Structure 1
Amino acid sequence: MAKEIRTEITIQAKREKVWAILTDFENYPNWNPFITFIEGKAEEGRQITVRIAPPGGKTMTFKPTIITRTENRELKWLGTVLFKGLFDGEHTFELKDNAYGTVTFIQGEQFRGIFTGLFNPEKTIKGFNEMNNKLKELAEKEEYNR
């Protein structure tokens, strides 16, 4: 069984600037209402620690592994609950260049495993959208520099 969430937003900024914000994990507590903490390096094969706070939901901490890092384009990690196959989530941040100095930020997650049917994605979707809006706000500010 599988479920998928996909959100996107257009940002008036260069892809490199948005990427710099996304990979500046230390700064997440200062701006990100959904992913409130990330510790570790955004490098393929590295395990990171992630804390999420879905709106109206329970804060959760987990330790996914970075499975894809394509500079200025895509960051993807895979997390599991207890062990692989129970409830796994493959989280993706993707940046697509548009015309006229904009970028489309796509945030998605594919959930798989035997407990996926019990998962209601409503709060997670709200959290994705809140994060997307804050990312847009931050990236469109002139003064943001990493």
Structure 2
Amino acid sequence: MARVKIEHRLGIAAPAHEIWKLVGDLPGWKHWNPLYTSAEGTLGFGAPLTLTLALPGRKPQVIRPIVESWTPDELIHWRLSMLGGMVRSVRYIEIEKLTDTGCIFSNGEIFDGLLGPTVARSMRGTIRSGFAAMGEAVKARVEAAWQGREGQPT
């Protein structure tokens, strides 16, 4: 079956654990995340989440994905099924450590199911813009916090 992947990646000048402090705190997303304006639930295998998805130019929508995998300082993956399974996706947020103070932050989604690839292709620009906005928000917030701490006594 065909799949469509949409992704945004960017470098962040901060350690993986600093990025994780922000993205691993789901209730805190409402304070900084332009793509998910509210997030409820906990990170645990098979745990349900309730997220408000605010794609650019579209009405916010509540989605209820299930956590598939999570590893502190590295990743969060969840799956979502809509329209009776006709649209399925795996959403991922990943932190790839390059150095002690530099990472690649990736956030993307892989769509499958009977209608998933068609929906993804038709909304590719909007979805990618949402991922970019989230990535830029993570970068700005984490780098500002990390730069404020560098050189400070611990």
**TM-score above 0.5:** yes
Q: Deviations over 1:54-110 (max 9, x none)?
A: 1112321111100011121111000111433x1011000111111361111011100
Instruction: Please give the alpha-carbon distance, in whole angstroms, between the structure 1 residues aligned to 2:137 and 2:22.
Output: 11
1:13 is paired with a residue whose SS is: coil
Aligned length: 143
Letter aligned with residue 87 of structure 1: V
Letter aligned with residue 97 of structure 2: D
Q: Deviations over 1:27-59 (max 9, x none)?
A: 111111111111000111101111111111232
Which residue, out of 101, 116, 126, partners 1:123? Answer: 126
Q: Percent identity at matched positions?
A: 22
Please, what TM-score do these two structures have when normalized by structure 1? 0.91
2:68 maps to 67
1:52 maps to 53
RMSD: 1.5
2:109 maps to 109
Letter aligned with residue 136 of structure 1: K
Instruction: Please give the alpha-carbon distance, in whole angstroms, between the structure 1 residues aligned to 2:41 and 2:77.
Output: 14
After TM superposition, the runs of 4+ consecutive aligned structure 1 residues lying more than 6 A away are none
Which runs of 5 or more residues in structure 1 are unaligned? none
Letter aligned with residue 129 of structure 2: K
Instruction: Please give the alpha-carbon distance, in whole angstroms, between the structure 1 residues aligned to 2:8 and 2:68.
Output: 20
Which runs of 5 or more residues in structure 2 are unaligned? 150-154
Q: Which has the larger radius of gyration?
A: 2
1:16 is paired with a residue whose SS is: helix
1:19 maps to 20
1:134 maps to 137
1:105 is paired with a residue whose SS is: strand
Please, what TM-score do these two structures have when normalized by structure 2? 0.87
Letter aligned with residue 90 of structure 1: V
Greater helix percent: which structure?
Answer: 2
Equivalent residues of 2:15, 2:100 under 8 A apart: no
2:152 maps to none
2:29 maps to 28
Letter aligned with residue 122 of structure 1: G
2:59 is paired with a residue whose SS is: coil
